């Protein structure tokens, strides 16, 4: 708790806050910088403070990750954001920009994708707002995949031909879509 007296200036307040952050690992801000490749939107947001998710931020992220074809919004499981945040740290880019290739999908969008492309699951966790597809500019997607697998916090799919990984908060599992054998031989 920080108490200010009239004689204490703003710079003192900043020092107090920063020392508070270093003394308590749970009091720090968790942030995400996301770019949506379909809508061309970007969001730079603190979604969690300490152990508390910030409802207003979650609502903005839900909208950001909406089904871009239909405009439908669904509430995402915020544990997914923790995985994304930790993933940026794992690849040495804490808070680094993530390109979102796909977020929430309505069943109509999912069926449409299934009809026109391969590698789209019928019961995809995108339908439950529990999955995103992503890449990170400047980070090799194979390296991103390995970092995601090491976190072991949900499903990790790899789509080398489309250059993205799928992440979800379902059970820990992995798949590689249309992968050349030599590409993952080092696992
Ligand atoms: Zn996916």
State pLDDT tens for residues 17-42: 444 444 455 569 999 999 999 999 99
What is the mean pLDDT of the segment spanning 100-128?
A: 93
Structure token digits, residue 170:
């379902």
The rounded distance, in Å, linking the Cα atoms of 33 and 44 is: 4
pLDDT in tens, 155-171: 999 999 999 999 999 99
Cα dihedral 55, 70, 37, 121 in deg (nearest 10) = 90
- Return the minimum-mean-pLDDT range out of 27-31, 84-88, 134-138: 27-31
Q: What separation in Å is there between the alpha carbon of 11 and the centre of ligand 1?
A: 45
Contact (CB, 8 A) for 82 and 114:
no
pLDDT in tens, 138-151: 999 999 999 999 99
Q: What separation in Å is there between the alpha carbon of 125 and the centre of ligand 1?
A: 7
Domains and CATH numbers, the chain: 25-184 (3.30.1380.10)
Closest by Cα among 109, 45, 56, 110 to 81: 45
| Secondary structure (3-state) at 164 | strand
Q: What separation in Å is there between the alpha carbon of 74 and the centre of ligand 1?
A: 16
Q: What separation in Å is there between the alpha carbon of 158 and the centre of ligand 1?
A: 9
């Amino acid at each position: 708790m920080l108490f200010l007296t009239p004689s204490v200036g703003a710079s003192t307040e900043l020092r107090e806050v920063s020392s508070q952050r270093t003394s308590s690992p749970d009091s720090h801000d968790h942030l995400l910088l996301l770019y949506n490749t379909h809508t061309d939107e970007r969001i730079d947001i603190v979604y969690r403070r300490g152990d508390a998710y910030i409802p207003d931020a979650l609502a903005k992220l839900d909208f950001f990750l909406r089904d871009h074809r239909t405009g439908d919004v669904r509430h995402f499981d915020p544990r997914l954001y923790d995985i994304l945040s930790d993933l940026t740290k794992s690849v040495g880019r804490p808070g680094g920009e993530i390109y979102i290739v796909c977020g929430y999908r309505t069943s109509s969008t999912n069926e449409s994708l299934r009809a026109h492309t391969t590698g789209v699951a019928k019961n995809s966790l995108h339908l439950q707002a529990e999955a995103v597809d992503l890449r990170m500019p400047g980070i090799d997607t194979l390296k991103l995949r390995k970092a995601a697998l090491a976190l072991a916090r949900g499903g990790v799919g790899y789509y080398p031909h489309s250059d993205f990984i799928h992440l979800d908060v379902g059970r820990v599992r992995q798949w590689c879509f249309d992968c050349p054998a030599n590409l993952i031989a080092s696992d």
